[in-house]
Amino acid sequence: MLNIDNNYSTLSLYKKHIVLSFIMVRDRKKYFPCKVNFYAPSSAKLSALMNEYSSLFSLVSLSHLLYIGKEIYKVEISTIFKQKYIQS
């Protein structure tokens, strides 16, 4: 089974939308990376997308999901205050 925690996720803002990307690589020597993007205008819509694709998110550890949630919160706050978002 693929373990996304060995790979990575990124969050960014693009034209006032939140973009959550999963970059998954099983073995860099044998497989090309697979990138899955979720694009939503708000954290509520992004949450609904994540719920829709719960089979993908079931592969992610709780600590990774909590980190993603924290970063989504930071994106939402940065859009409210019209500040630049930088993922930590």
- Tell me 4's DSSP state: G
Q: Is the separation of the CB atoms in 20 and 68 below 8 Å?
A: yes
CA–CA gap between residue 49 and residue 83 (Å, rounded): 25
Residue 63's pLDDT is 87
CA–CA gap between residue 59 and residue 30 (Å, rounded): 21
Residue 51's pLDDT is 93
Structure tokens given for 68? 């993603």
Predicted confidence pLDDT, tens digits, the chain (88 residues) = 555 566 778 999 998 899 999 887 766 566 667 888 999 999 999 999 999 998 888 878 888 889 999 999 999 999 889 888 888 7
Q: Is the separation of the CB atoms in 11 and 67 below 8 Å?
A: no
Residue 41's pLDDT is 93
Predicted TM-score (pTM) of the model is 0.79
